[in-house]
Chains A and B, each alone.
Chain A
C-alpha cells in the first residue's frame, strides 16, 4: 500500500457562477505537472474534515479535464508569432495556463444532508478511500464478505484493488455481466478469463458451488484454459495485490462436435497431448427436436411449423406411429423421420386427398422437413443421423469447473441450436436444483449475433431475454461480450448488473447509449490500452477505470503455436488415436484389424460407447460393441430327405 503519513493536497476545488460545485459534480485545479488523469479517484476535504473528521468529505472520479491559457483569442497567438508556428515555440515566456478538472461525485460523507461539494483541498484517494468511495466497505467486511476482485484501480502511480459484490454479479440481488469493446485486442476474452479465475477463487463459501459454461465461438480463444500462459512481473504483482493465485483453471472439460467424418474433432484443440480431454458433442434427432424452434424462427415466426414440430416431439418421436396411409413408424433418427415424411408425401399424392395431413399443411411439413434435413447436413458432426448422442454432463456439473463448448467451426444455425439447448438445459436443471452446482456462469461472445437489437424475434433472443430477466434467481448468470453494445437488444444489456467496457469504437461511442459519459471519458475509452477496462457496477455511482492482469492461461493464439492442431487423420487412424488415448496398451494394428471393412457409423457408435463407459479394457469393450464378424459359410448341399419311418404316427 502506497500510503503517505500526511498526504499532500494535489488541487483545490474551485467554483464560479458559470461552473459551480453541485452535490453531484465539482471542479478543481491542479498543478500543470499533475499525474492525475481521467478516471482518477480524488477526495475532497471540506473545512473541518481530516483529523477531527467532523467536516464533509467527498469522493469523486475525474470525468473531464480542461487546459487553457490567458490567450485572448487564437489570432493573438498568430500575431505574437508573426504567423510562423516555429516562432511560437521560441517565445521567452510561457503563458499562464491552467489544469482544470471536472469530477463526478462518487460518495459524500456524511450522506445527509446532501450538499454541494465544499470548496476544499483535493487529495488523491488511498486504498481505504477507494474502498469507501466505491461503497465496497459494505461487502468487503462483515461475517460473510462477498467481494470478487475485478482489477486494480490505477492513478498517479497509486494502485488499489477493486472488488465486485458477488451478490450483485452472480445473483440474487443482481446478476450478469456485459463486456463490450472492439475486437482484436483480446481484452474481452482476457477479462472474462481473468474474472472467472477470480470468481472461482473468491466465490464465497456460503454461496455454494459454481461452474462456468463457455461457448468458444471463434478461433482457439478458449481452447487452452488449462494451460499456463506467460505472465510478466507486473502481472504477478497485480495478482498478488488482488489476492489471486495466478494459475490456469484446474478443471476444464472441453466439448466439440466432430467433423463430418464423425471421428476427427472440429476444434483447434487437437494436438495429440491435449485432444485426449476433448469430448465429442453429438446430438441426435431427439436433442435437435427439443429445440427445433431455433431452426425455424431465424427468418420468420411460424406458429404452424412450431405446432408441427411439437407434434413430432410429442406424438411421433420414439413412439409407434401410424401415418394414416397404412404405414407404421417408430421415428428415432433423422433417417426414420425422413421415411415418415416420404410416406406422408407419397400417401397424399397417391390418395390425392388434399394438401392437409392431420391438420398440418403439406407446405408446413415440407418446410420443417427442409429445416431439419438442413441441420443434419449443415451440422454433420454435431448432429448424428443415427448414432448415439453425447451431451454435456447435465446433473453432474462439478464445482469450479469450466465447461468449454467449442462451436467455433459450427454453422451459425448449429451454433444457435447448441446455445439454445445448452442454456435451456442449464435452466431446467437449475430450476430443479439438480445441476450439481448452485450457480453457472455462461460466457458467450458475439452477443450481437444472438440477441440483436433489431431484426425478427428469434428463439435464442427470447431465451436470452428470459435469462437476463430471471436468471439471477436461478443462479444462471450470463457473461456476454460483443463488439458493439448498441447492436444488442436493450433489455439484454440493460439487465446486466455489471458492465465492462474495453476500447470502444468512436462511432459506437457516438450512439445514444453513451450519452451519459463525458467527452473525456469517451476519449479515454476510445484509446484504452490492452488490459484496461471501465467497469460499471451497482455499488459504484460512476464508471471506474481498472487495470487487470493478463489471465494466467495460455492465450488462444499462443496455444495454437505451442500445441499446433493435428492434421485430420484418416478415419482409421483417428479411431486408433481416440482409443489409444483411452487405453495406452492398445496397438494400432489391433484396432485397424478390428475395424477393417466395418461401416464408419458402426465404428463411431462403438467408439462413443467406449468413451461413455470408460471400461478398463477399452479394446475388449470396443470389440464387444462392434460385435464379432460372422464369416459366411455356404450351406452344405442338402441330401435327399429320407423317407419318414413308417411306424411314426401322428402324435396328436
Chain B
C-alpha cells in the first residue's frame, strides 16, 4: 500500500503587504500554490491513501479564499483518485479554542474526506486492509488522551496525529508551534505501528524510521529563517511531502518547489564603517544575491550600526531594494551599549546581554571550563535568539 503524508499546509497564512494582481495577499497565494503543486504531484503518484496531519488552515477562521481553495483541491484529489481515501485531522491552528466554536473543516466531509477534528477516531478501510487512528490536536490536549495503540483487526495500522515530540522540542531552535500538544516516544510506540504520520513540526524530520514529519509545505512559520538553517543542518532539500510504502515504511520525499525563495544574505559587520561604506557593503550583498532579490523574501543583518550611521544610510536605495523584493528586511543591529533610562530611580539599566554577561561572569563554574569562552558563547546564543525573535510578525 502506498500512502501520501502531508502536514502543516497553513492555508490562509498571510504575511507582508504585497498583494497579488487579484488583490489577495501574495504570501497567502504562495502557500496555496504550494499545496496546488503538491496535489498535482499526488495525482501523478496516485497514492492509495492520503493523510493530512493537521494545520490544514492557519487559523480557526480561515479566509474565504482559503476555504474555497481547499475545497477545490480536495475535490481534485477525490475526483482524480476516487479509490483513495483522504483522512484529514485538525491541528492546533485549526482547532477552535472553545468547544462552542464550530470548525469549518467539517465542510469537507461533503467531499467524502474523513475529517477528524475533536475526538480520535480509528477508521477502517477494509479495501486497503488498513486502519488509521486519526488523532487531532484536541484529542491530545484533553484530560483523557486516547491510547495511541493499534488494535487487532487490520493488517496495516497507521497513526496520524498532530503534536510534537518532547525530545525534539528544543526551545532555542524550535520550529514547531508553542500551542502544539507534547508527546513522548513512549506515547507513540512507533514500533507497534506500520507508520506514524506526524504533523506540527515544520521541517522534515524522522523521529523513527517509520515515524515522520514531512514538514510544512511552505515557510509559513514566523521563524522561517530558523527553518532554513535547520533544513541546511539536517540536509533537508526543502519543502515537500512523503510517499510511504506500507508495510516497511519506506519513505520517499516528494519535494514541492516553492513559488519564491527565502534568501538570507551574508551578514555585514558595520563596526568602524561609515554610512557610505555600509551602503556599499549592502549594495554588494544585494548585487551578489542568487537568485536576484526581485520578488524574493530577503533578509540582511548588519551588526554594529550606530543610530547616527543608520540615519545616514542611503535610504532611497534601500527603499528600492524593498520595492524589488517581495520583502527586504534590513536588520540593523545597534552596537551593544548601556542605556541610561530617565524613568524612576536614577541608575543604570542593563541591556539583556549585559545582564547575562554579568550573571555568567559570577556564576559558579566547573573548574575545567574556560569562563571567557563560556560567557562569549552565552551572549552569542542570546544574540541568535534575539535575531530570530526580531523576525517575528
Does A touch B (CB under 8 Å) in the complex? yes
A→B interface (CB under 8 Å):
318, 320, 327-328, 330, 332-333, 335, 339, 386-388, 597-599, 601-602, 605, 623-624, 626-635, 638-642, 644, 648, 650-652
Q: How far is the CB of B259 from chain A (nearest CB, A)?
A: 11
When distances are taken between beta carbons in the complex, the residues of chain A under 8 Å from B121 are 630, 633
Interface residues on B, range: 35 or more
Tell me the residues in window 205-262 of chain B with beta carbons closer than 8 Å to chain A beta carbons.
Answer: 206-209
| Cβ proximity bits B116-133 to A, threshold 8 Å, 1 near / 0 not | 000011111110000101
- State whether B192 touches A624 (Cβ < 8 A): no
Contact stretch, chosen from B142-150, B267-275, B292-300, B353-361: B142-150
Q: How far is the CB of B128 from chain A (nearest CB, A)?
A: 10
Q: For B187, give the chain A residue with the smallest CB separation.
A: A627
Which of B71, B111, B147 has the most chain A CB within a 10 Å cutoff?
Answer: B147
Tell me the residues in window 55-99 of chain B with beta carbons closer than 8 Å to chain A beta carbons.
Answer: 64-66, 68-69, 71-72, 75, 78-79, 82, 85
- State whether A652 touches B144 (Cβ < 8 A): no
User: Is B367's beta carbon under 8 Å from chain A?
Assistant: no
| Cβ proximity bits B311-329 to A, threshold 8 Å, 1 near / 0 not | 0000000000000000000
- State whether A628 touches B147 (Cβ < 8 A): yes
CA distance A335 to B29 in the complex (A): 45
User: Is B114's beta carbon under 8 Å from chain A?
Assistant: yes
When distances are taken between beta carbons in the complex, the residues of chain A under 8 Å from B185 are 330, 332-333, 386
When distances are taken between beta carbons in the complex, the residues of chain A under 8 Å from B206 are 328
Q: How far is the CB of B20 from chain A (nearest CB, A)?
A: 7
User: Is B112's beta carbon under 8 Å from chain A?
Assistant: yes
- State whether B79 touches A623 (Cβ < 8 A): no
Q: For B86, give the chain A residue with the smallest CB separation.
A: A638
- State whether B122 touches A332 (Cβ < 8 A): no
When distances are taken between beta carbons in the complex, the residues of chain A under 8 Å from B189 are 601-602
A–B pairs, 28, beta carbons within 8 Å: A332-B185, A333-B185, A335-B191, A387-B186, A598-B147, A599-B149, A599-B192, A602-B147, A624-B144, A627-B146, A627-B147, A628-B120, A630-B120, A631-B151, A632-B122, A632-B153, A635-B124, A641-B78, A641-B82, A642-B110, A644-B71, A644-B72, A644-B75, A648-B72, A651-B24, A651-B72, A652-B28, A652-B65
When distances are taken between beta carbons in the complex, the residues of chain B under 8 Å from A630 are 120-122, 133, 146-147, 151
- State whether A632 touches B186 (Cβ < 8 A): no
- State whether B85 touches A635 (Cβ < 8 A): yes
CA distance A318 to B110 in the complex (A): 44
- State whether A633 touches B85 (Cβ < 8 A): no
- State whether A635 touches B147 (Cβ < 8 A): no
Q: How far is the CB of A67 from chain B (nearest CB, A)?
A: 66
Q: For B134, give the chain A residue with the smallest CB separation.
A: A630
- State whether A635 touches B114 (Cβ < 8 A): yes
Q: For B69, give the chain A residue with the smallest CB separation.
A: A651
Q: For A335, give the chain B residue with the smallest CB separation.
A: B191
When distances are taken between beta carbons in the complex, the residues of chain A under 8 Å from B207 are 330
When distances are taken between beta carbons in the complex, the residues of chain B under 8 Å from A626 are 147
Q: For A634, give the chain B residue with the smallest CB separation.
A: B124
Partner of A641, one of B69, B111, B148, B186: B111
When distances are taken between beta carbons in the complex, the residues of chain B under 8 Å from A327 are 209
- State whether B167 touches A332 (Cβ < 8 A): yes
- State whether B75 touches A602 (Cβ < 8 A): no
When distances are taken between beta carbons in the complex, the residues of chain A under 8 Å from B125 are 634-635
- State whether A641 touches B75 (Cβ < 8 A): yes
Q: 13 more A-B contacts (CB under 8 A) besides A318-B167, A641-B79?
A: A327-B209, A599-B149, A602-B147, A628-B147, A631-B151, A632-B153, A634-B123, A638-B112, A644-B75, A650-B72, A651-B64, A651-B65, A652-B29
CA distance A644 to B123 in the complex (A): 27
Q: How far is the CB of A337 from chain B (nearest CB, A)?
A: 13
CA distance A119 to B144 in the complex (A): 89
Partner of A632, one of B66, B71, B123: B123
CA distance A599 to B85 in the complex (A): 29
- State whether A627 touches B144 (Cβ < 8 A): yes
When distances are taken between beta carbons in the complex, the residues of chain A under 8 Å from B85 are 635, 638
Q: How far is the CB of B6 from chain A (nearest CB, A)?
A: 19
When distances are taken between beta carbons in the complex, the residues of chain A under 8 Å from B363 are none
Partner of A639, one of B112, B120, B131, B154: B112
When distances are taken between beta carbons in the complex, the residues of chain A under 8 Å from B147 are 598, 602, 626-630
User: Is B32's beta carbon under 8 Å from chain A?
Assistant: yes
The 3 A-B residue pairs whose C-beta atoms are closest, nearest first, are: A627-B147, A651-B65, A638-B112
Q: How far is the CB of A131 from chain B (nearest CB, A)?
A: 46
CA distance A626 to B64 in the complex (A): 41
Tell me the residues in window 20-67 of chain B with beta carbons closer than 8 Å to chain A beta carbons.
Answer: 20, 22, 24, 28-29, 32-33, 64-66
- State whether A652 touches B32 (Cβ < 8 A): yes
CA distance A187 to B334 in the complex (A): 76
| CB within 8 Å for A628 and B186 given contacts A320-B168, A651-B65 | no
Q: For A648, give the chain B residue with the smallest CB separation.
A: B68
When distances are taken between beta carbons in the complex, the residues of chain A under 8 Å from B72 are 644, 648, 650-651
- State whether B186 touches A624 (Cβ < 8 A): no
- State whether A386 touches B186 (Cβ < 8 A): yes
Q: For A644, give the chain B residue with the smallest CB separation.
A: B75
Q: How far is the CB of B61 from chain A (nearest CB, A)?
A: 16
CA distance A644 to B112 in the complex (A): 14
- State whether A330 touches B143 (Cβ < 8 A): no
Q: How far is the CB of A503 from chain B (nearest CB, A)?
A: 49
CA distance A640 to B83 in the complex (A): 10
Which of A339, A605, A630, A650 has the most chain B CB within a 10 Å cutoff?
Answer: A630
CA distance A333 to B208 in the complex (A): 12
Q: How far is the CB of A609 from chain B (nearest CB, A)?
A: 10
- State whether B148 touches A627 (Cβ < 8 A): yes
Q: For B131, give the chain A residue with the smallest CB separation.
A: A632
CA distance A602 to B154 in the complex (A): 20
Q: How far is the CB of A608 from chain B (nearest CB, A)?
A: 10
Q: How far is the CB of B158 from chain A (nearest CB, A)?
A: 12
| Cβ proximity bits B190-204 to A, threshold 8 Å, 1 near / 0 not | 011000000000000
When distances are taken between beta carbons in the complex, the residues of chain A under 8 Å from B82 are 638, 640-641
When distances are taken between beta carbons in the complex, the residues of chain A under 8 Å from B111 are 641
When distances are taken between beta carbons in the complex, the residues of chain A under 8 Å from B145 are 624, 627-628
| CB within 8 Å for A633 and B186 given contacts A599-B149, A644-B72, A652-B22 | no
CA distance A386 to B72 in the complex (A): 45
| CB within 8 Å for A641 and B133 given contacts A623-B144, A630-B122 | no
CA distance A597 to B24 in the complex (A): 53
Q: How far is the CB of B253 from chain A (nearest CB, A)?
A: 12
CA distance A632 to B124 in the complex (A): 6
CA distance A332 to B82 in the complex (A): 41
Q: How far is the CB of B295 from chain A (nearest CB, A)?
A: 16
| CB within 8 Å for A339 and B209 given contacts A628-B144, A630-B121, A644-B75 | yes
When distances are taken between beta carbons in the complex, the residues of chain A under 8 Å from B32 are 651-652
When distances are taken between beta carbons in the complex, the residues of chain B under 8 Å from A599 are 149, 192
Q: How far is the CB of A456 from chain B (nearest CB, A)?
A: 30
Q: How far is the CB of A179 from chain B (nearest CB, A)?
A: 38
When distances are taken between beta carbons in the complex, the residues of chain B under 8 Å from A335 are 191
CA distance A387 to B189 in the complex (A): 11
- State whether B64 touches A641 (Cβ < 8 A): no
Q: How far is the CB of A610 from chain B (nearest CB, A)?
A: 14
Q: How far is the CB of B71 from chain A (nearest CB, A)?
A: 8
CA distance A628 to B66 in the complex (A): 34
CA distance A337 to B38 in the complex (A): 36
When distances are taken between beta carbons in the complex, the residues of chain B under 8 Å from A597 are 151-152
CA distance A632 to B156 in the complex (A): 13
CA distance A605 to B123 in the complex (A): 27
Q: How far is the CB of B162 from chain A (nearest CB, A)?
A: 16
Q: How far is the CB of B133 from chain A (nearest CB, A)?
A: 6
CA distance A623 to B146 in the complex (A): 10
